[in-house]
Amino acid sequence: MKPELTLHQRTLTLTRFPVRKNETLQAWDAADEYLINHCHSMALEPQRPILILNDNFGALSCWFAEQGQVTTVTDSFITQQAIINNLNDNNLPAITIIDCLADLPTNPQLVLIKQPKNNRLLSWQLQQLCHLLPADCVVISAGKVKDIHSSTLKLFEKYLGETKTSLAVKKARLIFTTVDKSLAAPMPQPTTWTVPEHDLTITNYANVFSSDSLDIGGRFLLDFIPSKPQYQDIIDLGCGNGVIGIKAARLNPQANVTCVDESFMAAASCRENAQINLNNIDKFDVMVANCLDNFTNQSADLVLCNPPFHQNNTITDHIAWQMFCDAQRVLRQNGELIIIGNRQLKYHEKLNRIFTKVDTIGNNDKFVVLKATK
């Protein structure tokens, strides 16, 4: 796989984050190329902001970095790191990178949106833009043809303004929207629901995993969280809204609990949920990170994990594998990793490669809960 994107006599070297040996996946897609080609002949004002939403690994941020005051908005720590690395590798100037809950710069001339996987995030972002954008701002979105449904276009019409689509090129399509300020409405509140059997009230920002209800995997894992007086340090890896880490903190009040996610909205939800559901948050910490990068070796007694099986729009098990390897490194001797997975994912085989002992501690028609001991 060649890491060079060449368009209009210009070449960028672009890699994903984290960089993997023998990477088979490109750091850009046909929708990025379509957006770049479409904007190529545009006269852009050097001093007026360009906003880029949901860039994957920085193709758009790098391409436009020298063409205006670029601000990239992403909910992903991994995307942030990829953008920083790719800007450096291509000797491009720094741009502003913010998360989806930060204030956007005013009076942008151009907004480029990569269609996110999650329609709740898209709706939230369109409503945010409707408040902010001047009527002369050009708004172009892009995505895979198979992901752009009439229901997607209705969201653009409902929250931002009149919307048209382009022809498909290499299975990608552009979406053009004319800003209609009369559609601006109060921003929606995060969704909140309860888990009565565990006495939890959980609130979720738009991009949080399973934000409309408790994930069935997460629900099953809740019943297998141990309580042991010897636990000093517990990690909820890939914490989402924090439901697992919060339950672990209740069952083990003596332990420090650290929740980790690569989504800024997940981390924000987890912090709010800890405030709502725990009497004491002194021993509860939330971090935005890629897996357990920068965690000290042999520093935890228990890692709990409901691993992801996709990155942006790509289905992959490499993140789960990195989480298992990181947990193995970060656990103390006799430390435990407890995970939940779909039966067919065969996480048992993976864990057996790196842990001394792997036991099945729960199962139902769909899931297994495994405990791997170091």
Ligand X SMILES: C[S@@+](CC[C@H](N)C(=O)[O-])C[C@H]1O[C@@H](n2cnc3c(N)ncnc32)[C@H](O)[C@@H]1O
Binding site for ligand X (CB under 6 A): 78, 209-210, 215, 218, 238-240, 243-244, 260-263, 266, 290-291, 306, 308, 319
* Secondary structure element (H or E) that encloses residue 139, with its range: strand 138-144
Pick the closer one to ligand X by CB: 263 or 328.
263
Pick the closer one to ligand X by CB: 111 or 268.
268
Pick the closer one to ligand X by CB: 7 or 98.
98
Pick the closer one to ligand X by CB: 16 or 173.
16
* Secondary structure element (H or E) that encloses residue 172, with its range: strand 172-179
Pick the closer one to ligand X by CB: 115 or 273.
273
Report in angstroms how near the CB of residue 7 gets to ligand X at its nearest: 29
Residues in contact with 96: Cβ distance below 8 Å, sequence separation at least 6, in sequence order: 69, 70, 71, 72, 105
Report in angstroms how near the CB of residue 239 gets to ligand X at its nearest: 5
Report in angstroms how near the CB of residue 171 gets to ligand X at its nearest: 25
Taking the C-alpha atoms of residue 126 and residue 152, their distance in angstroms, rounded to an integer, is: 11
Among 230, 295, 231, residue whose Cα is nearest residue 259: 295
For 225, other C-beta atoms within 10 Å of its C-beta total 21
| Strand segments (E) across 54-124 | 69-73, 96-98, 110-114
Report in angstroms how near the CB of residue 223 gets to ligand X at its nearest: 13
Structural tokens at position 222: 């809740």
Report in angstroms how near the CB of residue 240 gets to ligand X at its nearest: 3
| CA angle, 248 then 193 then 210, to 5° | 75
| CA angle, 60 then 37 then 150, to 5° | 80
Taking the C-alpha atoms of residue 249 and residue 258, their distance in angstroms, rounded to an integer, is: 9
Taking the C-alpha atoms of residue 237 and residue 258, their distance in angstroms, rounded to an integer, is: 8
Report in angstroms how near the CB of residue 272 gets to ligand X at its nearest: 15
* Secondary structure element (H or E) that encloses residue 362, with its range: strand 357-363
Report in angstroms how near the CB of residue 238 gets to ligand X at its nearest: 3
Report in angstroms how near the CB of residue 333 gets to ligand X at its nearest: 24
SS3 246: helix
Pick the closer one to ligand X by CB: 77 or 156.
77
Report the DSSP beta bridge partners of residue 167.
none
67 burial (CB, 10 Å; 0-12 / 13-18 / 19+) is middle
Pick the closer one to ligand X by CB: 37 or 363.
363
Report the DSSP beta bridge partners of residue 142.
114, 174
